[in-house]
Structure 1
Amino acid sequence: MSEVEMSVEKHVFEADVAKLLHLMVHSVYSDKNVFLRELISNAADACEKLRYEAIVAPDLLGSDPAPRIVLTLDEENARLIVEDNGIGMSRDELVESLGTIARSGTRAFMERIEAAQSKDGAQLIGQFGVGFYSAFMVADNVDVVSRRAGSDKAWHWASDGKGSYTVSAVDLADAPARGTRITLHLKDDAKTYTSRWTVERIVKDQSGHVPVPISIMEKPGGEPAQVADGTALWTKQKSEISKEDYTDFYRGVAGQYDEPALTVHFRAEGRHEYTALAFVPGSKPFDLFDPDRKGRMKLYVKRVFITDEADLLPRYLRFVRGLVDTADLPLNVSREMIQESPLLANIRKGLTNRVLTSIEKLIDSDPDAFARLWDNFGSVIKEGIYEDFERRAQLLALSRFLTTAAEDKPRALSDYVKDMKDGQAAIYYLTGENLAQLKASPQLEGFRARGIEVLLLTDPVDSFWVTTAPDFEGKPFKSITQGAADLAAVAKENTTAASPAASPSVTDFVAFAKATLGEAVSDVRTSDRLTESAVCLVAPEHGPDRQLQKMLQGAGRIDDAAKPILEINPDHALIAALAAGPSDDQTFREDAVKLLFDQARVLDGDKPEDPRAFAERLSRVFDRALKH
């Protein structure tokens, strides 16, 4: 046995990969054809990476400069071979790329595909670096032989997808001169993938526009026949590209298997020239809320792939997939030069404007498509209100919000302003964790009584952008859980009578409550925002509102939230009864005040500060009621 044959290393897949392979092998995906798109996409990326590295090291290309992908059909041995002459992989790169999943969100991804099963599983492949593993949907065993460009060593990776894999050195005579060869030993029910007609149809349907020529060899040692010419789709005229062409390309570049919700394809000319092809996905990518929040736009220079880490769009448009190709940058541009390039700043500005303008046009041209897009990505787009001062007014006009006047169909701020009541001076909003909680909030009662519309904001970013957006069409934003409600200028609906002033007994009770609660509150006062509930909590006039205080405190950004204000409804029967009751039972009155405070905390989504004391007070009040 030769030294090469003896140097076999056996490895166990990391836990997440093993679990993922189990899901693959047991066919959670409804469309197995997608495996071929993923392998071709990986091969095309390898060719593009070689073109990039060859800019500074042209010797890497040797005597074989033209990139290619060759699919070899081996019906006799039930094998399908995918080979490229791209950058190839070293031993360490094989282990890293095919033995681990390093990208964030892997666990969430697998939980989603387990839940989805065959319903929408096909569109889940291609994300979080798992495209290669889709090969095990159709293969009992997978062999990968790879030789990195410029290396004098080649390596063999092999696995049956059941928990382990081997890596060994391989004779150069048995390896590609450069690049990677993947051999799939097909399962009995997957032998159709040795059919020329089947494979060619899949290639043309799913991978016809990758920027690398693709050929099919009908048997080992046969003559390859080209089935895709590697023409970059983005270089063609829009009139020459069908909707199906765009969809095919989108699926390859985005790693999605849905239909794009919006396609933006344009060529900028003038001082700077570049071509952009961008897609808004039809469904949420799994990394939409990735803490890294990186975009997924690729940068090409003269059709040579440079990087997918250039900031070509702001972070709040990170769901957009696609590419930009320019001839105005040098091919050997460094990552540092990219980040500091005035050209890239110009491209970023132009591309951002075109994407936002295209989204705006959907409002009138296809309202249903815009509604779906906003449902998927509105919570991310609103980050731009907070982060992008230059486009804040545009983003506010674009945004849609659920309100007390439209709880099932989001409304534009322009419609809100148009329907404001006489005497209403602000755009009112309420933030919270979910719609049901907001709809039950006692702070809404006075606004409902006057027919004043309130924005119901449930996305975490809502608590932040409202603090930085000073106004919309001259109307300031105001939280209904902060400061005075200022509702006296707006008449209540279905009544002409003004609310009576608080009785002296209620006034005395409010003063007693303030003294009893002491440092627990910053104030106790009568409320013009309550019509049904007895009490509620609001934040002081200045500083964050109630929800933002909770978020900042939970994140450790502030040590102590501002003391709340307890507002008491002077017209409530319970308050009137407590105010008119005997004043000699000091313990009962103190218990009643503190129970009202705890009630307000519960209505605000909190719990009593001291549950034991709360239970004891409640027991004393029950005992007193039973005795009377």
Structure 2
Amino acid sequence: MSTEKQTHGFQAEVSRLLHLMIHSLYSNREIFLRELVSNASDACDKLRFQSLDNPALIGEGAEPAITLTIDKEAGTLTVADNGIGMDESDVVDNLGTIARSGTEKFLAQLSGDQKKDAQLIGQFGVGFYSAFIVADKVTVETRKAGSDKASGVRWESDGQGEFTVEGIERLQPGTAVILHLRDDARDFLDPFKIRQVINQYSDHVAFPINLLTPAEGDAEESSETLNSATALWQRPRQEVSDEEYQSFYKHISHDFQDALSWSHNKVEGALEYTSLLYLPARAPFDLYHRDANRGLKLYVQRVFIMDDAEQFLPQYLRFVKGVIDAPDLPLNVSRELLQDYGPVQKIRAALTKRVLQMLKKLSNDEEQYKAFWSQFGQVLKEGIGEDADNREAIAALLRFASTHEEEGVTRLDAYLERKPAEQESIYYLLADTPSAALNSPHLEVFRKKGIEVLLLSDPVDEWMVSYLDSYKDVKLVNAARGELDLDEAAGEAESDNPLVARLKDSLAEQVESVRATRRLVDSPSCLVLAEDQLGPQMRRMLEAAGQPVPENKPVLEVNLDHDLLKALGTVDDGERFNDLAALLLDQAMLAEGQLPKDPAATARRMHQMLVSAVNN
């Protein structure tokens, strides 16, 4: 590149972010060092991986390492690595823009609480910019591994909206981030402070982190290694403290909160591997973006291979963080090979069962599991349809609101324990919202008979129960589908009533049929779907995916004992009867949380009825 200095403007989102870093986020400022060390570690990992195909890359310098340099006279702290480095396009792309789509969500989630806001850094891919929490100017000098010394690049910015890029000569490949510290951040020039931060956040980093203090006055130049520089997952479990496990979790996840739980295991035999898996306490911003990069960090013989190896866990466990080290895999393993490679499928099956065991153990602590479920419950439900081999184990982990647990959640096993011996089914009800489920007219006869009903209102629920037809040999039955049979509770509903026949004729274009029911106690009507018809949730999911959706006509069930139906039977005026019949159907749709087919016509009928009521 040209040695002439070029000035560029930051992407608009970066400018907003930098203003925030400089003016707002002062709590937990030490996270900037955690983020820069993590970036340096990633650069060293990438160099080791690329050197598998090109050993000359490592040969250019010493073994990968991270060096922190304190210069009290200049007021700078430098974080340097001899990793993969960057060329000019890398510098402009990586340091001038934020490629990840989470930036807007990062900004939207800011609460004004400095401590909480600072915790978001890293989770949204903005770790480098945290340097501006402590620095009024940042200089980056870098050279890509494999290029010549004239290919160095210097990037510099004061965080005020612009940055400069120029070509330089740089003897060694790798990257140095030079922080010109603010006056109120000079405590990071104290070696004791640096040791403390590295010990807290980065002791587990698998590359040496060396602290270099230049000669000053009578003091000679000194260098010391601050971390153990060993792969934490390769150490025996009894030698790793809880604090070290949590610190390592924060390193690989960029999460500031502790993990809820973890499992560290070494498997030996025909297939050898070591895994360290974590259950996070909170969901990442892109949890429901199924195409987002996610997965375990993959190492082979302690050599970093892949950052998001999604092949080792199914999609419904995409929230799990961790590391897998499988020495028997080939070092040049590719994503294509991972997809079909037999040992990977065996490891995937074993890790899936291990995570489900972790969740089962976590569920013994109701408060902890409640916290987990609030964050990841909907994702776990996806496993019912995606993992037939573990369907019953997943079902045991599900939690539902119910008519017996309106203030909390219940397990399927708890439902079975409460169920009377003569009750042959597990009943559930689907609705768009919890309140719509709780107030549904379909529950009336169940409440009258004291029968518990599970209340399902998550978008994934209808799809989920289409795969979960039974649990422990007890059939799951939708309380709003088909003709209800609660033994004598259903009673004999009149099928040849003249009013039912009139309603059928009036609503023939809008409903499949009209029938009398004992399903209702206090409500005049309700809608019922046939067993083979799509419910509202599935229809919306398919429509959102651009899939063709067949037209559904529900069955209208009416409560002939209700005063409204008795009054309707006395209406002789055909046009008025048709309007009232249409309102009866609209009322049933509203009770289901659905909009009438023609809201304007419904409003007109309501207006006419109100005028008539007022005049009389």
TM range (shorter): over 0.9
Aligned runs of 1:261-280 on 2, under 5 Å?
Answer: 261-280=260-279
Contact persistence 1:46–1:88 (CA under 8 A): yes
Deviates more, 1:44-53 or 1:218-227: 218-227
Partner-residue secondary structure (3-state), 1:158: strand
Change (3 A) 1:443 1:501: closer
Tell me the CA shift for residue 101 of structure 1. 1.6
Deviates more, 1:129-138 or 1:447-456: 447-456
Partner-residue secondary structure (3-state), 1:369: helix
Q: Where does the alignment leave 5 or more consecutive residues of structure 2 unmatched?
A: none
- Listed one character per residue, the Cα deviations across residues 316-339 of structure 1 (whole Å, up to 9, x for unaligned) are 111111110121122222332222
Tell me the CA shift for residue 434 of structure 1. 2.2
Partner of 1:495: none
Change (3 A) 1:420 1:21: same
Aligned runs of 1:470-549 on 2, under 5 Å?
Answer: 470-487=469-486, 489=487, 491=489, 502=494, 507-549=497-539
Q: Choose the corresponding residue for 2:132, options 129, 136, 142.
A: 136
Partner of 1:200: 195
Partner of 2:102: 105
Contact persistence 2:157–2:163 (CA under 8 A): yes
Separation in 2, partners of 1:503, 1:574: 18
Contact persistence 2:18–2:160 (CA under 8 A): yes
Contact persistence 2:493–2:516 (CA under 8 A): no
Separation in 1, partners of 2:583, 2:25: 54
Partner of 1:157: 155
Separation in 1, partners of 2:105, 2:211: 37
Separation in 2, partners of 1:377, 1:454: 23
Partner of 1:590: 578
Q: Structure 2-normalised TM-score?
A: 0.94
Q: Does 1:212 align with 2:207?
A: yes
Q: Does 1:127 align with 2:144?
A: no
Separation in 2, partners of 1:617, 1:283: 48
Partner of 2:602: 614
Q: Choose the corresponding residue for 2:564, options 564, 574, 587.
A: 574
Separation in 2, partners of 1:168, 1:282: 43
Partner of 2:241: 242
Tell me the CA shift for residue 228 of structure 1. 0.9
Partner of 1:56: 53
Tell me the CA shift for residue 375 of structure 1. 2.2
Tell me the CA shift for residue 65 of structure 1. 3.7
Partner of 1:448: 447
Deviates more, 1:121-130 or 1:460-469: 121-130
Tell me the CA shift for residue 105 of structure 1. 2.7
- Listed one character per residue, the Cα deviations across residues 195-237 of structure 1 (whole Å, up to 9, x for unaligned) are 1111110000000101111011123793321111311111111
Separation in 1, partners of 2:320, 2:278: 6
Separation in 2, partners of 1:95, 1:426: 62
Contact persistence 1:539–1:546 (CA under 8 A): no
Separation in 1, partners of 2:161, 2:578: 66
Contact persistence 2:111–2:117 (CA under 8 A): no
Tell me the CA shift for residue 552 of structure 1. 2.9
Tell me the CA shift for residue 502 of structure 1. 4.7
Partner-residue secondary structure (3-state), 2:226: strand
Partner-residue secondary structure (3-state), 1:56: coil
Q: Does 1:92 align with 2:89?
A: yes
Partner of 1:145: 141
Separation in 2, partners of 1:307, 1:137: 31
Partner of 1:337: 337
Separation in 2, partners of 1:160, 1:187: 11
Separation in 1, partners of 2:501, 2:192: 86
Whichever residue aligns with residue 148 of structure 1, its letter is: K
Partner of 1:290: 289
Separation in 2, partners of 1:539, 1:471: 20
Separation in 1, partners of 2:415, 2:136: 60
Tell me the CA shift for residue 362 of structure 1. 2.4
Change (3 A) 1:615 1:368: closer
Separation in 2, partners of 1:69, 1:275: 26
Contact persistence 1:90–1:154 (CA under 8 A): yes
Separation in 2, partners of 1:277, 1:448: 47
Identity %: 42
Tell me the CA shift for residue 119 of structure 1. 4.7
Whichever residue aligns with residue 535 of structure 1, its letter is: S
Contact persistence 1:422–1:490 (CA under 8 A): no
Q: Choose the corresponding residue for 1:183, options 136, 157, 178.
A: 178
Partner of 1:402: 401
Tell me the CA shift for residue 353 of structure 1. 1.2
Change (3 A) 1:270 1:625: same
Partner-residue secondary structure (3-state), 1:215: strand
Partner of 2:423: 424
Separation in 2, partners of 1:501, 1:345: 55
Tell me the CA shift for residue 24 of structure 1. 1.6
Whichever residue aligns with residue 376 of structure 1, its letter is: Q
Partner of 1:260: 259
Q: Does 1:14 align with 2:23?
A: no
Whichever residue aligns with residue 166 of structure 2, its letter is: S
Contact persistence 1:397–1:413 (CA under 8 A): yes
Tell me the CA shift for residue 623 of structure 1. 4.2
User: When the two structures are aligned, how many residues end up with a matched partner?
Assistant: 609
Separation in 2, partners of 1:22, 1:423: 66
Deviates more, 1:389-398 or 1:419-428: 419-428
- Listed one character per residue, the Cα deviations across residues 312-367 of structure 1 (whole Å, up to 9, x for unaligned) are 11111111111101211222223322222212112111111111112212233x33
Tell me the CA shift for residue 490 of structure 1. 5.8
- Listed one character per residue, the Cα deviations across residues 378-426 of structure 1 (whole Å, up to 9, x for unaligned) are 2111111110111111101121211111122221111112222454332
Deviates more, 1:615-624 or 1:585-594: 615-624
Q: Where does the alignment leave 5 or more consecutive residues of structure 1 unmatched?
A: 492-497
Partner of 1:40: 37
